[in-house]
Structure 1
């Protein structure tokens, strides 16, 4: 019977509809580290290539918001472990990108 867990106490079971398939912890940690590294590289590339002046609140919203929304939707709607890992990697791009942009701002004194 799909969707039923083993009985816990007193013969009552827990009804489980669907769960997010999680990869192993080491795989999940590894793809998140890769996501942070990709975010840092994206920030360096954006800082070098984009010369337009952007409001700081808009930049923070784009840098944190877009990867967060895409990553969370990928995780929530994933039905395979590798899709959950990809969603976690996309979700981790935001903090890496934000950290690198912050470091660039501090280093340049702007």
Structure 2
């Protein structure tokens, strides 16, 4: 059984994770100047946080580990949204 934290703690962890994802997306776009394949970037941005977050959630023995896993899971949509917005603004 997955130990769940209180609803407000889980929501807060996911909100912080999404904010971290937005910041990571902006920082990545400013720092990385190499031309990368879009499918590789999507796999990296969505795959790595999802696998790590699910690993934390599924192996959690304490509620705070579940919250940490949910926070890591929430990084992916924030990061991906920034990358999509940058592509839309640049006409890509």
Please give the TM-score of this superposition, normalised by the length of structure 2.
0.98
Which structure is higher in helix share? 2
Corresponding position: 1:73 with 2:88: no
Deviation at 1:31, TM superposition (A): 0.6
Give the alignment partner of residue 43 of structure 1, picking from 20, 25, 29. 25
Deviation at 1:87, TM superposition (A): 0.2
Please give the TM-score of this superposition, normalised by the length of structure 1.
0.82
Which of 1 and 2 has greater Rg?
1
Over residues 58-97 of structure 1, what are the superposed CA-to-partner deviations in whole Å (9 max), with x where a residue is unaligned? 0000000000000000000010000000000000000000
Q: CA RMSD in A?
A: 0.5
Corresponding position: 1:101 with 2:83: yes
What is the aligned length? Answer: 92
Corresponding position: 1:54 with 2:31: no
Deviation at 1:32, TM superposition (A): 0.3
CA distance in 1, matches of 2:66, 2:86: 31
Over residues 6-53 of structure 1, what are the superposed CA-to-partner deviations in whole Å (9 max), with x where a residue is unaligned? xxxxxxxxxxxxx10000111101110110000000000000000001
CA distance in 1, matches of 2:7, 2:90: 38
Structure 1 residue ranges without an equivalent (≥5): 1-18
Structure with the larger RCO, 1 or 2 (CA within 8 Å, 6+ apart): 2
